[in-house]
């Protein structure tokens, strides 16, 4: 392997001992061998460090870094990218698995098409025992226009159609990745990153299912079921604070378009699509404001929720007011 590997693979991890070996082995078993694996440990308290150092001793392509405290997923994901040296870059989660041909297929696709900035494959969801949870490969973005030659069409597709963010675990041109804001410390920042990448070039989907996404009881979605609580996963400093996820997403999309090198008419088309996005997400934006009000009034609402004297006074329906406030407090992570 040369001093500068063709592909850099970044693996951010925090307390990932349960699936870490399987994830690392799937990378070391790649048919494409000219890569470096960068593991950044976000202050794990389990056997993650021991496992990683064992692999480092076995394979010189692996570099291991450890932070003494958990600084959040966004910081750790961005750290492995900053440490990368390759022409291409790929994130890999410490609980997911890649088929042996994953990297070679993605690199081949990118090298055959200079207009493409990201290559990814179809996905199969697996469980804790690595058994498929779906019989057919999940379709990521094949129903959209992310392979269009028109950047405004690609951006609009990612903006207004429901899609998974699995392509963010594909192989990306490093020089293009550097021009983005990387992963932000807010919920759904992976959606913003994909939108930004779409403004630079096409996405290519490999038709085979070569990426296995693991769903288990301790993943980020299961650990933080509410999007308001999930902000803590991206950045621990956000714990217990209002985060306005829908509003943040809206403004990040706007900023992405403004900073892009699109022509004026293309930017105008993207801005018009933002109006469509508001029409789809206005309920979530309204909920953000309600959650913020609940945060401001939480001492009074805690008393209100517990005091039976208020049961007869209601702003919606008598039997729904207490339930609604309790749900907002729970969803907003308000204790």
Q: What is the CATH number of the domain that holds 15?
A: 3.90.550.10
Q: Given pLDDT bands bounded at 50, 70 and 90, which one contains residue 141?
A: low
Is 1 within a domain?
no
Is 167 within a domain?
yes
Q: Which of 158, 192, 223 is the last residue of a domain?
A: 223
Residue 214 above 80 pLDDT? yes
Percentage of the chain lying above the pLDDT 90 cut: 68
How far apart are the C-alpha atoms of 322 and 211, rounded to whole Å? 45
Q: Given pLDDT bands bounded at 50, 70 and 90, which one contains residue 94?
A: very high
318 and 177 belong to one structural domain: no
Could you tell me the residue range of the domain that residue 22 belongs to? 7-223
DSSP state for residue 334 in the 8-state scheme: -
How far apart are the C-alpha atoms of 165 and 291, rounded to whole Å? 26
Is 228 within a domain?
no
Is 125 within a domain?
yes
112 and 30 belong to one structural domain: yes
108 and 193 belong to one structural domain: yes
215 and 307 belong to one structural domain: no
305 and 202 belong to one structural domain: no
309 and 219 belong to one structural domain: no
How far apart are the C-alpha atoms of 281 and 253, rounded to whole Å? 13
Is 71 within a domain?
yes
**Comparing 328 with 201, which gets the higher pLDDT?**
201
| Domain count across the chain | 2
- 294: tokens are 């609940």
- 24: tokens are 């690392």
- 47: tokens are 């056997």
The whole-chain average pLDDT of the chain stands at 87
Is 243 within a domain?
no
263, 264, 265, 271: CA torsion to nearest 10? 110
74 and 214 belong to one structural domain: yes
**Comparing 316 with 321, which gets the higher pLDDT?**
321
Q: Given pLDDT bands bounded at 50, 70 and 90, which one contains residue 329?
A: low
> In Å, how far are 19, 40, 48, 170, 300 from 130, measured between CA atoms?
10, 24, 20, 20, 47
91 and 209 belong to one structural domain: yes
Cβ atoms 66, 49 nearer than 8 A: yes
Is 121 within a domain?
yes
pLDDT mean over 93-101: 97
97 and 217 belong to one structural domain: yes
Q: Which of 201, 223, 245 is the last residue of a domain?
A: 223
pLDDT mean over 220-226: 65
215 and 103 belong to one structural domain: yes
Residue 148 above 80 pLDDT? yes
Q: Given pLDDT bands bounded at 50, 70 and 90, which one contains residue 182?
A: very high
What pLDDT, on the 0 to 100 scale, is given for residue 119? 98
177 and 30 belong to one structural domain: yes
Cβ atoms 106, 26 nearer than 8 A: no
176 and 310 belong to one structural domain: no
DSSP state for residue 139 in the 8-state scheme: P
Q: Which of 196, 223, 250 is the last residue of a domain?
A: 223
Is 57 within a domain?
yes
pTM value?
0.87
Residue 231: count of CB within 10 angstroms of its CB:
28
pLDDT mean over 81-86: 97
């Amino acid at each position: 392997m040369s001093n500068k590997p063709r592909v850099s693979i970044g693996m951010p991890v925090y307390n990932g001992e349960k699936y870490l070996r399987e994830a690392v082995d799937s990378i070391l078993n790649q048919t494409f061998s000219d890569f470096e694996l960068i593991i950044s440990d976000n202050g794990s308290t389990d056997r993650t460090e021991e496992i990683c150092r064992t692999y480092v001793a076995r394979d010189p392509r692996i570099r291991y870094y450890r932070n003494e405290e958990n600084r959040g997923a966004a910081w750790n994901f961005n750290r492995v990218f900053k440490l990368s040296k390759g022409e291409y870059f790929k994130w890999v989660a410490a609980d997911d698995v890649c088929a042996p041909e994953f990297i070679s297929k993605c690199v081949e696709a990118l090298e055959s098409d200079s207009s493409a900035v990201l290559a990814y494959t179809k996905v199969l969801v697996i469980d804790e025992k690595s058994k498929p949870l779906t019989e057919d490969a999940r379709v990521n973005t094949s129903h959209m226009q992310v392979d269009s030659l028109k950047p405004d069409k690609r951006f609009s597709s990612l903006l207004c159609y429901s899609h998974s963010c699995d392509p963010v675990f594909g192989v990306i041109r490093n020089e293009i990745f550097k021009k983005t804001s990387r992963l932000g410390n807010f919920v759904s920042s992976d959606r913003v990153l994909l939108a930004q990448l779409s403004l630079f070039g096409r996405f290519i989907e490999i038709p085979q299912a070569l990426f296995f996404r693991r769903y288990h009881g301790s993943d980020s979605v299961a650990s933080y079921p509410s999007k308001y609580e999930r902000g803590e996963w991206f950045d621990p400093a956000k714990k217990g604070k209002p985060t306005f996820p829908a509003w943040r997403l809206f403004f990040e999309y706007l900023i992405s378009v403004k900073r892009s090198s699109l022509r004026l008419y293309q930017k105008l088309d993207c801005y018009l699509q933002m109006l469509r996005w508001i029409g789809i997400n206005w309920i979530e934006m309204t909920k953000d404001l309600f959650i913020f009000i609940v945060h401001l009034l939480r001492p009074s609402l805690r008393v209100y929720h517990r005091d039976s004297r208020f049961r007869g006074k209601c702003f919606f329906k008598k039997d729904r007011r207490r339930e609604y406030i309790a749900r907002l407090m729970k969803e907003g992570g308000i204790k």
